[in-house]
């Protein structure tokens, strides 16, 4: 099951599961110590995509409008659910949600995931850049 909620609509357990998965993967697994939890999470316009396999929290992402379109990021699938087809469902839910906003959808993708995002119509632009020590590329889905 996939749902989209603001942080204010989430239960305390959902907030815990969201932050635990993001910290476990982005900070611990990717060995990237930085402030994973930021103010964008609590912005009322931000929607967190929550994916469950039965009762188990299996993945997440977040989407939010910007002055020029929308952003998709903080996309992660629990290691036990990678390769299950859940990832594309999360990305499609994010793309579908952001269709309500004018302008393009922007993703700052880890460089190793550029090919993954291309399957959804996103196009890489500009040069690679480092974000928290990890190479990234800006990708855009024109509308």
Q: How many residues does the chain have?
A: 143
Question: How far is C-alpha 13 from the geometric centre of its chain's CA atoms?
Answer: 19
Question: Radius of gyration of the chain from Cα atoms?
Answer: 14
CATH class name, domain 2-141: alpha beta
CB of 21 closer than 8 Å to CB of 13: no
What residue spans define the domains of the chain?
2-141
> Which residue from 22, 6, 46, 50 is spatially nearest to 132, judged by alpha carbons?
22
What is the model's pLDDT at position 131?
83
pTM of the model: 0.92
Reported for 26-33, long-range contacts at CB under 8 A and 24+ positions apart, including other chains, are 26/74, 26/76, 29/79, 30/134, 32/132, 32/133, 32/134
Task: Give the integer Cα–Cα distance in Å for 59 and 82.
Answer: 9
Task: Give the integer Cα–Cα distance in Å for 135 and 110.
Answer: 6
Question: How far is C-alpha 68 from the geometric centre of its chain's CA atoms?
Answer: 18
What is the model's pLDDT at position 27?
83
Q: What pLDDT tens digit does each residue of the chain (143 aa) get?
A: 999 999 999 999 999 999 999 999 988 888 777 788 899 999 999 999 999 998 899 999 999 999 999 999 999 999 999 888 999 999 999 999 999 999 999 999 989 999 999 999 999 999 999 887 788 999 999 77
């Amino acid at each position: 099951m996939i749902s989209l909620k603001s942080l204010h609509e989430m239960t305390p357990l959902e907030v815990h599961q969201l932050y635990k998965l993001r910290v476990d993967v982005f900070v611990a697994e990717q060995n990237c110590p930085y402030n994973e939890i930021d103010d964008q999470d609590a912005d009322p316009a931000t929607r967190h995509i929550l994916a469950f396999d039965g009762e188990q929290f299996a993945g997440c992402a977040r989407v939010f409008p910007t002055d020029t379109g929308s952003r998709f990021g903080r996309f992660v699938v629990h290691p036990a659910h990678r390769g299950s087809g859940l990832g594309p469902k999360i990305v499609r839910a994010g793309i579908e949600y952001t269709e309500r906003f004018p302008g393009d959808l922007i993703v700052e993708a880890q460089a190793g995931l550029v090919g993954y995002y291309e399957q959804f119509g996103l196009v890489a632009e500009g040069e690679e850049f480092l974000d928290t020590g990890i190479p990234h590329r800006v990708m855009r889905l024109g509308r």
